[in-house]
Structure 1
Amino acid sequence: MPQLNPSPWLAIFLFSWLVFLTVIPPKVLAHTFSNEPTSQSTEAPRTTPWAWPWH
């Protein structure tokens, strides 16, 4: 069974993870959001109670 021979598969596995860990994190960390959040006021909005017509 060639699947049980770890020599080529271990090297492929380690090399692929090395590529993933060196290429993907800088791309993710460099991502910027197009819509920056703005700070909202701490004052709670004033609400008026509803006037239900049946009571």
Structure 2
Amino acid sequence: MPQLNPAPWLLILVFSWFVFTTIIPPKVASHKTPNDPSLQSTKTPKMTPWTWQWH
């Protein structure tokens, strides 16, 4: 049964984990979000009541 021969599969497993743990994370982490959140002011806005024109 060729599935039980670990020689090719072990090398593929080790190489794929090497790629997943060393090459891919820096590439993914280098992307920036298109809309970086800006700091909000801590002042509360002055709330004015809305006057209903049709009453």
The unaligned stretches of length 5 or more in structure 2 are: 50-55
State how far apart, in whole Å, the 1-side matches of 2:11 and 2:4 are: 14
CA-atom RMSD in angstroms: 2.1
The unaligned stretches of length 5 or more in structure 1 are: 49-55
- The corresponding residue for 1:10 is 10
**TM-score normalised according to structure 2 size:** 0.64
Q: Deviations over 1:1-55 (max 9, x none)?
A: 110111110111101111222221111111111101012244378486xxxxxxx
The number of residue pairs the alignment matches comes to 48
State how far apart, in whole Å, the 2-side matches of 1:47 and 1:24 are: 52
- Read off the aligned partner of 1:27 and give its amino acid letter: K
- The corresponding residue for 1:22 is 22
